[in-house]
């Protein structure tokens, strides 16, 4: 991808919009513990002159994805960016598989306790609804991360040289 800003402006924008820290912490449910060190910067992660690893800076609604990439100067007015979006292991799997595990556990408990059929139906419908919500939540968080990343760093998909 190509950014419309030069490498110095890109590095400065990275510095101005990123709170420095381990991005793998912010993409998990444990991000809630960093609520007191919250800043107004949009991203959270690590960066150097040529590499970066960032995620969204959020404590209550974490984004379980990171943007990992490298930057190179293309010319005096553009920067070439090679990046990929990767899931943050624990946070991603927590949101993806915990609702499925919840269905299994609740059904075992209700079966052992001989719960009425209505309770089975209500809980299973609620848990299936949570599964569907979790799927769309993950997809939306990933799309929002990519959109914000491209907007902040002025990245265009197809710029002709």
Q: Give the phi and the psi of residue 52 in degrees, each rounded to 5.
A: -150, 150
pLDDT for 158 equals: 58
As for how many domains the chain has, the answer is 1
- Indicate whether 159 belongs to any domain: no
What is the domain range of residue 40? 2-152
Residue with tokens 């991808």: 1
Asked whether residue 161 is assigned to any structural domain, the reply reads: no
> Residue 145 and residue 140: Cα distance in Å, rounded?
9
Please give the model's pTM, rounded to 2 decimal places.
0.80
Could you tell me the pLDDT band of residue 35, with boundaries at 50, 70 and 90?
A: low
């Amino acid at each position: 991808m190509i950014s419309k800003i030069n490498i110095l402006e890109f590095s400065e924008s990275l510095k101005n919009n990123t709170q420095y820290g381990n991005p793998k912490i912010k993409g998990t449910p444990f991000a809630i513990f960093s609520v007191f060190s919250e800043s107004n910067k949009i991203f959270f992660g690590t960066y150097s002159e040529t590499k970066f690893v960032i995620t969204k800076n959020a404590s209550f609604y974490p984004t379980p994805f990171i943007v990992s990439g490298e930057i190179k100067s293309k010319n005096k007015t553009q920067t070439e960016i090679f990046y990929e979006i990767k899931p943050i292991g624990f946070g991603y799997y927590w949101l993806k598989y915990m609702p499925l595990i919840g269905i299994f556990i609740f059904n075992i408990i209700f079966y052992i306790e001989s719960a009425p059929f209505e309770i089975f139906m209500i809980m299973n419908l609620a848990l299936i609804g949570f599964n569907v919500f979790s799927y769309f939540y993950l997809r939306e968080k990933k799309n929002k991360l990519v959109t914000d990343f491209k907007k902040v760093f002025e990245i265009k998909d197809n710029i002709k040289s």
